[in-house]
Chain A
Amino acid sequence: GAVVSQHPSWVICKSGTSVKIECRSLDFQATTMFWYRQFPKQSLMLMATSNEGSKATYEQGVEKDKFLINHASLTLSTLTVTSAHPEDSSFYICSAGGGRGQGPYNEQFFGPGTRLTVL
Chain B
Amino acid sequence: AQKITQTQPGMFVQEKEAVTLDCTYDTSDPSYGLFWYKQPSSGEMIFLIYQGSYDQQNATEGRYSLNFQKARKSANLVISASQLGDSAMYFCAMRGISSGTYKYIFGTGTRLKVLA
Contact = CB atoms under 8 A, between A and B. Distances in A.
A19 B1 CA distance: 34
Prevailing SS type, chain A contact patch = strand
A57 interface: yes
B33 A105 contact: yes
Interface string B30-50: 011101010000111101001
Nearest to A115: B43
Given A43-B107, A104-B32, A110 B45 contact: yes
Contacts of A34: 103-104
B32 A110 contact: no
B55 to A, nearest CB: 9
B50 A107 contact: yes
A32 interface: yes
Nearest to B31: A104
Interface string A73-107: 00000000000000000010101010000111111
Contact of B103 (A43, A46, A93): A46
Given A43-B109, A107-B35, A113 B44 contact: yes
A107 B101 contact: no
Given A43-B106, A43-B108, A44-B106, A107 B91 contact: no
Interface of A: 1, 32, 34, 38, 42-44, 46, 49, 57, 91, 93, 95, 97, 102-110, 112-113, 115
Interface of B: 29, 31-33, 35, 37, 42-45, 47, 50, 52-53, 91, 95-97, 101-104, 106-109
